[in-house]
Structure 1
Amino acid sequence: MKGDIYIPIISSILSGGISYYAATVVHKFNKRYKRKEKAVEMADEFSKLISKRSFDIGEINKKILENVGLQDKINELENKMNLSFDNHELRTVFTDKEIAKYHTYKKVTNTEFIKILLRTFKNENYKEECLRAIILEFDNKKTIKENIGDKQWTFSTGEKEIVIKSNDVLQGINTLIKKYNETHIYCMNKLEYFSMHFTNNIADSNTVYQSLHQIYLKTILSLYIDISSTNKIGHEKFYVNLIEFYNEWNNKKIKFKKKTEKRINKNRNSFLKTEKLK
């Protein structure tokens, strides 16, 4: 009879334990589901950032790096793990002359740079289309002011003519540069925001790794000189989440590549041994 007293107690304990275990499993499942859901949401944000802004920042930087002859050095960084993205590391990869060449190329006076911006810029009105047509005909060997001179251009829309003067072109270029700078800062901040969700485990990186890692890594690496130039020794580091997440995905890519190469070599050696035995 005394033993019967403990049966409800034991049952209660078991019931409570099972309920707690079930609640824990459900909580973990919900948390995992929410992290995956957040990852998909972030992937959509990234897609909009890449495709719907006025400028394609990654494509612009890729073209600049090609034109100044630094793309090969940037490509070599793809195989390096745990990049610091700071000024000290930057100077171990590039010479001061190469870094200066990169930043000088991006000045408003450089006709070639303005053309790169215009080729990726999404025109908003007919006047911008006219300005684009004018500037794309400029001589790359001349500065913007030398190309403009004291000229004026006339365009016909069918019903009326649009006259564009030299000051209109200068004003259009200044507006273009302003939009580019704003877009550049916006993209950097959004990339940091995007990365923060994964470095803080709010979103599950494995859910979107396969579909996003290539374009994400290439976009960040195209910004290597800009980011590293900002991060000077002794100062607060910028874009820490972006850097951490880049390294996480790039390290994963490198490890997978090495593992794949090792497996291929092993299979090749096994095949050669089999052939010798024949």
Structure 2
Amino acid sequence: MTIAVTGAGGQLGRLVVEALLAREAGPIVAIVRDPAKVADLAARGVEVRRASYDDPAALDAALTGVNRVLLISGNEFGERVRQHTNLIRAAERAGAELLVYTSIPRAQDNPMILAQEHTGTEAVLAESSVPHTILRNSWYWENWLPGLAATIESGALYGAAGEGRVAGASRADYAEAAAVVLTTDGHAGQVYELGGEALTYAELAQAISTVSGKPVSYREVSEDDHAAALEAHGLHAPHARALADSDTGIANGYLHVTSGDLQKLLGHPATAAIEVFRAALAAA
């Protein structure tokens, strides 16, 4: 059985390939735009194929002989449904036995900006002839790492999430879950709502305070003010707005996952936020 991973040079894709190697999954194909970024994986026996979501012919070549494929959602906002559809159609033409897609919790009714293209992609999959599994990944605890030093220095974690809970896990947890689905049977037609421990932003701030040894508290701001602050820190306006809108989604419970699906797939508890923060500070 040959398994292909799209976006294999990215943070999640690389971890999925590592998880597949650890499971001795058999032939693995890493689909990337730039093969140089995964030269180390090629040296370990992973077959590297060049393709992008914008090139149907290259996708056809990349999926030749592939049995199962992981479609990791792209990052070109506004283009993702079209790009994902290109991959789905290529999987159909290749006769893939399973396509696994990384989506977002409650995609069927999630009003968040970041959910819109996932909802569109799931609609394409619903009408596709390829058997598929949907992994609705909640937030990665690593999402808070780029601003961790500034949060500790200022003593404040800013957000617009109110008392809402976000069920997060480590990126490696989601990668391991994907590897399990790709290497075991019985997952076609399944939708897994994935998330670990559910924390409020105040509890996230307390976790950061605990691992840093410095007082950190949660400071609530409006969605508009949060978007403006993110833009002032260098994010493009649409991205800043989408992230601030995500906080509102958290406030309204759209990332509070209680299914237990992630833990069932992993066979163990998901990684706690405090452990991700502790490891990041130790590495720094």
> Do both proteins adopt the same fold according to a TM-score greater than 0.5, normalized to the shorter chain?
no
TM-score (norm 2): 0.24
Q: Which has the higher contact order (CA 8 A, sep 6+)?
A: 1
Max radius of gyration: which structure?
A: 1
TM-score (norm 1): 0.24
* Larger fraction in helix: 1
* Larger fraction in strand: 2
